Homo-oligomer: A and B are copies of this chain.
Amino acid sequence: MARRNDHSRDELREMALSAAERVLQQEGFKALSARRVAADIGYSAGSLYTLFKNLDDLCWQLNARTLTQLLAELDRVEQTDAKSCLLAYGHAYMAFAHDHPARWALLFEHGGSRDMPTPASLSERIDSLFARVEVCLQQLKPEMPAAECALTARTLWSGVHGIAVLALRQKLFLDQAQSADKMLQQLVDHFIKGWLIEECRDA
């Protein structure tokens, strides 16, 4: 029953999001609740609804943060050769998924219910991710029209994403970890090769 003014509104939002990330990381998706997050930052559950419209809103904002962090990881890639760069992106992507499974899963499993549209803050970041892939592809095929470039980038990256999903969810039933790396290598390798080679007969 009080105003404490210990922190600004933005500080509180930041604290709440950090707490939510901590809960996700350490105790998984099922442990994430309004009361839990509120308790972790020393406030009551009702207070969260001053900072966020509802829990969905908190998740959207959380996802935006996750994506910026993921993009930052991708930007640590230093390969200049286009294909090596794509592979390094893939590795970074899968490493991120592996290191932050709950947050990464939330990225794709949240908001799946109804027509609820993905907020712009998210779609911008996703586009920015695809843009990095497009740059690599453009480098491999300079004369390629932009539309094809966008499509191809999404095809290739969907493949990388799919490997990450099934590996993380353990739906592959091979001998675990390094298979995923091999698969990534295979995917990028064969896809790029097949994409570049137009001569050499139509198989």
Residues of B within 8 A of A165 (CB): 108, 158, 161-162, 165
A183 touches B151 (CB 8 A): yes
Q: How large is the interface on A (under 10, 10 to 19, 20 to 34, 35 or more residues)?
A: 35 or more
Task: Report Cα–Cα, A114/B29, bound state, in Å.
Answer: 9
> For residue A126, which residue of chain B has the nearest CB?
B171
Indicate how many identical chains form the complex.
2
Q: Which residue of B lies closest to A124 (CB)?
A: B173
Tell me, rounded to whole Å, the shortest Cβ–Cβ distance linking A102 to chain B: 8
Chain B residues with CB under 8 A of A186: 151-152, 155, 195
Query: From A171, which residue of chain B is reached at the shortest CB distance?
Result: B126
Q: Which residue of B lies closest to A186 (CB)?
A: B155
Give the docked Cα–Cα distance between A161 and B186 (Å).
16
Smallest CB separation, A201 vs chain B (Å): 9
A190–B190 contact, CB under 8 A?
Answer: yes
Contact B174 A114 (CB under 8 A): no
Q: Is the CB of B152 within 8 A of A29?
A: no
Known: A173-B123, A200-B200. A190 touches B195 (CB 8 A): yes
Residues of B within 8 A of A29 (CB): 112-113
**Min distance, Cβ A163 to any Cβ of chain B, angstroms:** 4
- Shortest distance between the CB of A36 and any CB in chain B (Å): 15
The answer for the CA separation of A171 and B112 in the assembled complex, in Å, is 11
Residues of B within 8 Å of A183, CB to CB, are 151, 154-155, 158
Q: How far is the CB of A125 from chain B (nearest CB, A)?
A: 11
Per-residue interface assignment for chain A, residues 18 to 34, with 1 indicating a CB less than 8 Å from any chain B CB and 0 otherwise: 00000000001110000
Residues on A lying within 8 angstroms of B by beta carbon are 28-30, 83, 101, 105, 108-109, 112-114, 117-118, 123, 126-127, 130, 150-152, 154-155, 157-163, 165-167, 169-174, 179, 182-183, 186-187, 189-197, 200, 203
